[in-house]
Amino acid sequence: MHSEGAFPTVRLRRLRYLPAMRRLVRQVHLRAEQMILPVFVRPGRGVKKEIPSMPGHWQLSPDLAAQEVREAARLGLGGVLLFGIPEQKDPEGREALRPDGVIPQAIRAAKDAAPEVLVITDLCFCEYTSHGHCGPICQRAGRTDVDNDTTLQLLGQQAVVHAQAGADLVAPSGMMDGMVGAIRKALDAAGFEHVPILSYAAKYASAFYGPFREAAESAPQFGDRRSYQMDPASRTEAALREIQLDLAEGADMVMVKPALAYLDVIREVRCRWPEIPLAAYNVSGEYSMVKAASERGWLDEKQIALEILTAIGRAGADIIITYWAKQAAGWLAEAKP
């Protein structure tokens, strides 16, 4: 005797038997329009500088970055995320505030190239400071630290500069307390109430950022960023608290970074706030380790990349920032029956 609803009456393999059946009942669908392509921009013209630890990505001058934006439009991607590498660095990162700086140039070039593409800009100072930290440094209680409240004023200025150049969405990434509120206040005061904020609300002090720091030339010259980025060993409730505070300050969208090792956090955020647009950053280390393994013939890059991106979407991310954006869009187009 077989109990009701058990084998052999129930055979779950029936829905996996045919490729067409698997496509029909598939519940997680990757789409090009949910993917954001990070682009690294440096001054000059006709500049394409290799990033050795991130095959397939380069530091590009604004004119060549505009070509990437055109390609993003052709592939139907959800947008681009711009990171700037300035010509000069100083302890306060003042190059980040120049209306004619590298990111404002890149924004204008992107909008000239493909006005319909969403242009997101990273708001932070680690690429612009000579010490590589995410804001000006101060001495407090006998230790060196980022001056949180001074950085808030500078972030507000940086956001306005980007909005004036035409940025569609700004994304503060430094994990400063109060950053969303300060940026919202500055944007509103400058007449940019319509510009939304995507907060790196749960950003962990992760070892997966190594290749990015080469790409953005932003490695700390001393110490680390553990006093402001989240501890990887903290419980998911700590991330929920960070996100709740950013939403209260006016964040329109929130992000979990990195993605692959923090799928549990993505899932908890999605369950807590099903109505809030949720992004996840599939970071450089997650990309580069698969690239390295595939170059050695140990892994199939296409299959692994799509599996990773699918897992991020299954965990609950609406938006995926990924260095595979262009490739994944091509792979998904090829797979359409």
Catalytic residues: 203, 257
Report the alpha-carbon angle 122-243-133, nearest 5: 40
Q: Are strands 198-203 and 119-123 parallel, antiparallel or unpaired?
A: unpaired
Q: Which residues contact 50 (CB under 8 A, 6 or more apart)?
A: 58
Helix and strand counts by DSSP (H, E) for the chain: 11, 12
Coil, strand, or helix at residue 214? helix
State the Cα–Cα distance between residues 329 and 30, nearest whole angstrom: 9
Coil, strand, or helix at residue 144? strand
Contact 68, 89 (CB under 8 A): no
Q: Are strands 119-123 and 137-140 parallel, antiparallel or unpaired?
A: unpaired
- Whole-number Cα distances in Å, 262 to 201, 208, 258, 282, 293: 13, 12, 6, 10, 21
Q: Which residues contact 19 (CB under 8 A, 6 or more apart)?
A: none
The token duo for 248 is: 């209260």
State the Cα–Cα distance between residues 76 and 171, nearest whole angstrom: 21
Largest Cα separation within the chain, whole Å, is 78
Q: Which residues contact 230 (CB under 8 A, 6 or more apart)?
A: 175, 202, 203, 204, 205, 238, 239, 242
Task: Give 82-133 as a DSSP string.
Answer: EEE--S--BTT-GGGG-TTSHHHHHHHHHHHH-TTS-EEEEE-STTTBTT-S
